[in-house]
Amino acid sequence: MNDFREMLERIMGAPPVAEPAPTLAEQQGITQELGDAVACLAEAELAAGRTEIARAILEGLVVTNHRDAGAWALLSAAHRKLAQPLAARFCAEVATTLAPADPWIRLARAESLLSFPDARGEARGMLEGLAADADVGERARVLLGALPE
What per-residue confidence (pLDDT) applies to 13? 65
Whole-angstrom distance, CA of residue 83 vs CA of residue 76: 11
Q: Is 121 exposed, middle or buried (0-12, 13-18, 19+ CB in 10 A)?
A: exposed
Q: Above 60 in pLDDT, residue 49?
A: yes
Domain 3-7+26-146: which topology? 1.25.40
What per-residue confidence (pLDDT) applies to 1? 44
**Count of other CB atoms within 10 angstroms of residue 58:** 29
Identify whether the C-beta of residue 64 lies closer than 8 Å to the C-beta of residue 28.
Answer: yes
Give per-residue pLDDT as tens, 63-81. 999 999 999 999 999 999 9
Give per-residue pLDDT as tens, 121-147. 999 999 999 999 999 999 999 999 999
Rounded to an integer, what is the distance from CA 136 to the centroid of its chain? 14
For the chain, the domains span 3-7+26-146
Q: Above 80 in pLDDT, residue 30?
A: yes
Tell me the average pLDDT of the chain. Answer: 92
Whole-angstrom distance, CA of residue 2 vs CA of residue 9: 10
